[in-house]
């Protein structure tokens, strides 16, 4: 099979490209714009693989997308490319609309025109909004996105739905909870806390740290997406989750303890506006219908992740001293939106 991966130089996409090349006989074309989040170092070692081709470009570039679909005779698209960070969507939503909504719509149109057999839209649990203390998101939960990021992903999901309902185009949507693991950009909670702790920097916990996320090891997400691509039912939505809820503060404390650092590094900062309280995924459907189950428990997944960031220090140090540093200083520095709230230590 010839598979087009979009966003394959990012965190989950690069893990997915590696999975496909190591465990399937498929050919993989990776279309990625290499934004701040895209990094070819995530794909180091694959350059000479004859089953792999990298194309630098924008999913919103219609001519390029059309050319790739034709030249490579693409059978399936797995669509990861997106602006993915909630905090950035609060600072500048426009690029989220451009990439996540318009980019997806262009991909859909060109894929339909080229009669691609399968289109997997990699979406997120954030489209469902926020839960209170009880309950879980199922595939039937109404969409109620709260951040511009979540709204842009929900819009893309609806565009996918419309292509199935109106044209019978074989789109399948996956909605996953928070991922963690190797190659995650250090703006996201887990790698940010690991890197800051290793550098003895403040660990900025938003609000009171009581927000809950449901964590899944990235490799388990990739296996689920691959299964959906091969065996999922067109037009359907599949939730993917780790059954692994944790409060942010508890998670940060756990990381600090694993790294042998002081909990005094933890500092409460101004909360994220519109901060969703709790996400929890009911993954019953993909488990019973497609036989998927997570294989990595949270404790060993976190150990693997911490080890990876310890062993690959140059990977994140290079990012943190580059262009990303100005974002960090702007957001978390004195006067920044996430500058210390002065609420003190836990
Ligand atoms: P990421 O930010 O690490 O990677 C995104 C990739 O997309 C980057 O390589 C970037 O260069 C590329 N990209 C951005 N704009 C592009 C464009 N216009 N054209 C081509 N490429 C472009 O993101 P991630 O965390 O790996 O997330 C991947 C996907 O999974 C996203 O769609 C995200 O919404 C979804 N998702 C992520 C999580 C999570 O916890 N990280 C959970 C559920 C769903
Ligand atoms: O410095 C921080 N301090 C903090 O307390 C950061 C970066 C985050 N947080 C909190 C906010 C969230 O409650 O930690 C939690 C996780 O935050 P993020 O890593 O930014 O992830 P989240 O907002 O939950 O979104 C992630 O999961 C769903 C991904 O970034 C999305 O792409 C995905 O769709």
Any ligand 1 atom below 6 A from CB of 5: no
Q: What's the confidence (pLDDT) of residue 345? A: 55
State which ligand 2 atom lies nearest to the alpha carbon of 82. Answer: 32
**Site to substitute for ligand 2 among 206, 207, 255, 281, most atoms within 8 A of C-beta:** 206
pLDDT confidence band for 344 (50 / 70 / 90): low
Any ligand 1 atom below 6 A from CB of 110: no
CB 142 within 8 A of CB 133: no
Whether pLDDT at 15 is above 50: yes
Cβ neighbors of 212 (< 8 A, separation 6 or more) are 245, 246, 247, 248, 277, 278, 279, 280
Q: Is 129 left (phi over 0), alpha (psi -120 to 50) or beta?
A: left
Any ligand 1 atom below 6 A from CB of 185: yes
Look up the pTM and report it.
Answer: 0.97
Burial (CB < 10 A; 0-12, 13-18, 19+), residue 27, is buried
Identify the architecture of domain 2-177+218-241+275-294+323-332 in CATH: 3-Layer(aba) Sandwich (3.40)
Using one digit for the tens of pLDDT, what is the confidence trace for 144-188?
A: 999 999 999 999 999 999 999 999 999 999 999 999 999 999 999
CB 150 within 8 A of CB 124: yes
Rg (Cα) of the chain, in Å, rounded? 19
State which ligand 1 atom lies nearest to the alpha carbon of 184. Answer: 3
State which ligand 2 atom lies nearest to the alpha carbon of 123. Answer: 34
Mean per-residue pLDDT, 200-209:
98
Whether pLDDT at 108 is above 80: yes
pLDDT confidence band for 341 (50 / 70 / 90): low
Using one digit for the tens of pLDDT, what is the confidence trace for 46-99?
A: 989 999 999 999 999 999 999 999 999 999 999 999 999 999 999 999 999 999
Q: What's the confidence (pLDDT) of residue 337? A: 79
Token digits of residue 258: 């694993």
Q: What's the confidence (pLDDT) of residue 346? A: 52
For the annotated catalytic residues, the residue numbers are 125-126, 149
Report CA(9)–ligand 1 centroid distance (Å).
9
Mean per-residue pLDDT, 208-236:
98
* Atom 5 of ligand 1: nearest residue by CA position: 10
pLDDT confidence band for 342 (50 / 70 / 90): very low
Report CA(38)–ligand 1 centroid distance (Å).
8
Using one digit for the tens of pLDDT, what is the confidence trace for 192-201?
A: 999 999 999 9
CB 125 within 8 A of CB 214: yes
Cβ-defined contacts of 106-110 (< 8 Å, 24+): 106/59, 106/60, 106/61, 106/62, 106/65, 107/6, 107/59, 107/65, 107/77, 107/79, 108/159, 108/160, 108/163, 108/169, 108/171, 109/62, 110/62, 110/65, 110/66, 110/69
Q: What percent of the chain has pLDDT over 70?
A: 98
Q: What's the confidence (pLDDT) of residue 322? A: 81
CA 117 to chain centroid? 24
Ligand with minimal distance to 185 CA: 1
Q: What's the confidence (pLDDT) of residue 335? A: 76
Report CA(263)–ligand 1 centroid distance (Å).
31
State which ligand 1 atom lies nearest to the alpha carbon of 36. Answer: 11
**Site to substitute for ligand 2 among 12, 13, 84, 86, most atoms within 8 A of C-beta:** 86
Any ligand 1 atom below 6 A from CB of 173: no
Q: What's the confidence (pLDDT) of residue 336? A: 81
Any ligand 1 atom below 6 A from CB of 8: no
Any ligand 2 atom below 6 A from CB of 6: no
Q: Which residue has the tokens 């059978």?
A: 75
**Site to substitute for ligand 2 among 143, 149, 178, 210, most atoms within 8 A of C-beta:** 178
Ligand with minimal distance to 336 CA: 2
CB 151 within 8 A of CB 145: yes
Mean per-residue pLDDT, 284-307:
97
**Domain boundaries in the chain?**
2-177+218-241+275-294+323-332
Using one digit for the tens of pLDDT, what is the confidence trace for 230-269?
A: 999 999 999 999 899 999 999 999 999 999 999 999 999 9
């Amino acid at each position: 099979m010839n598979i087009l991966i979009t966003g394959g130089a990012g965190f989950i996409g690069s893990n997915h490209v590696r999975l496909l090349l190591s465990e399937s006989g498929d050919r993989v074309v990776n279309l990625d714009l290499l934004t701040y989040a895209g990094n070819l170092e995530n794909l180091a070692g694959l350059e000479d693989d004859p089953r792999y081709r990298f194309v630098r470009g924008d999913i919103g570039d219609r001519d390029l997308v059309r050319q790739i679909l034709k030249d490579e005779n693409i059978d399936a698209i797995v669509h990861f490319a997106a602006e993915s960070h909630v905090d950035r969507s609060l600072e500048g939503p426009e690029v989220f609309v451009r990439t996540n909504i318009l980019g997806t719509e262009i991909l859909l149109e060109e894929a339909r025109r080229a009669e691609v057999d399968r289109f997997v839209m990699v979406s997120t649990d954030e489209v469902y909004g926020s839960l209170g203390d009880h309950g879980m998101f199922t595939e039937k939960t109404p969409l109620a996105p709260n951040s511009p990021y979540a709204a842009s992903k929900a819009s893309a999901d609806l565009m996918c739905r419309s292509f199935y309902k109106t044209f019978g185009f074989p789109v399948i949507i996956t909605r996953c909870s928070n991922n963690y693991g190797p190659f995650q950009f250090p703006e996201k909670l887990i790698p940010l806390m690991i890197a800051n702790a290793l550098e003895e920097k403040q660990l900025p916990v938003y609000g009171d740290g009581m927000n809950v996320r449901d964590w899944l090891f990235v490799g388990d997400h990739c296996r689920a997406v691959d299964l959906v691509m091969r065996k999922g039912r067109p037009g359907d939505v599949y939730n993917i989750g780790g059954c692994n809820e944790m409060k942010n503060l508890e998670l940060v404390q756990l990381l600090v303890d694993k790294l042998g650092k002081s909990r005094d590094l933890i500092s409460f900062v101004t909360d994220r506006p519109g901060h969703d309280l709790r996400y929890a995924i009911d993954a019953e459907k993909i488990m019973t219908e497609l036989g998927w189950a997570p294989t990595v428990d949270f404790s060993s997944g976190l150990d693997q992740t911490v080890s990876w960031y310890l062993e690959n220090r140059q990977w994140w140090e290079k990012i943190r001293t580059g262009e990303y540093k100005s974002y960090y200083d702007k957001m978390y520095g004195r006067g920044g939106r996430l500058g210390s709230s002065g609420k003190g230590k836990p």
